[in-house]
Amino acid sequence: MIQKIENLEDVAEFMHNLIKEGVNAHPDEDFKNYVNFETGTDTFTESEADHRNKLMESSFDICEKEGVDIYSFMQEIFLKDTGLDKYIPLPSTVN
């Protein structure tokens, strides 16, 4: 997992990391609320969730500074990484 967010490339890497971890991340959701559907247990320890929450907060700051919509930015990465872009239009192609 990436350790800090300093630019848009880091925001993208963070999202790629989350996808590799198998989570359907949403920028507004606290990582303490993520639960494994199969086991019913927390996906992340408190420390892991805190780290990801801090990274997401930094991601919001960077996206705002760069004038980038974090929701569209992260959704596009998610769709491409999961192959769902074959079925769901990318945010950048929706008017």
pLDDT (0 to 100) of residue 37 = 86
Please indicate, yes or no, if residue 65 is contained in any of the structural domains. yes
How large a percentage of the chain has pLDDT more than 90? 86
pLDDT tens-digit profile of 21-63?
Answer: 999 899 999 999 999 888 999 999 999 999 999 999 999 999 9
pLDDT (0 to 100) of residue 95 = 45
- Hunting for tokens 């996808």 — which residue is that? 19
- Convert 4-40 to b/e letters by CB count within 10 Å (16 or more is b): ebeeeebbbbbbeebbeeebebeeeeebbebeeeeee
Q: Taking 50 as the threshold, does the pLDDT of residue 69 lie above it? A: yes
Please indicate, yes or no, if residue 71 is contained in any of the structural domains. yes
> CA angle 43-71-45, nearest 5°?
15
pLDDT (0 to 100) of residue 93 = 61
pTM: 0.90
Please indicate, yes or no, if residue 61 is contained in any of the structural domains. yes
Domain that holds residue 20: 8-93
Please indicate, yes or no, if residue 72 is contained in any of the structural domains. yes
Check if the beta carbon of residue 4 is closer than 8 Å to that of residue 58. Answer: yes
What's the structural domain count of the chain?
1
Please indicate, yes or no, if residue 3 is contained in any of the structural domains. no
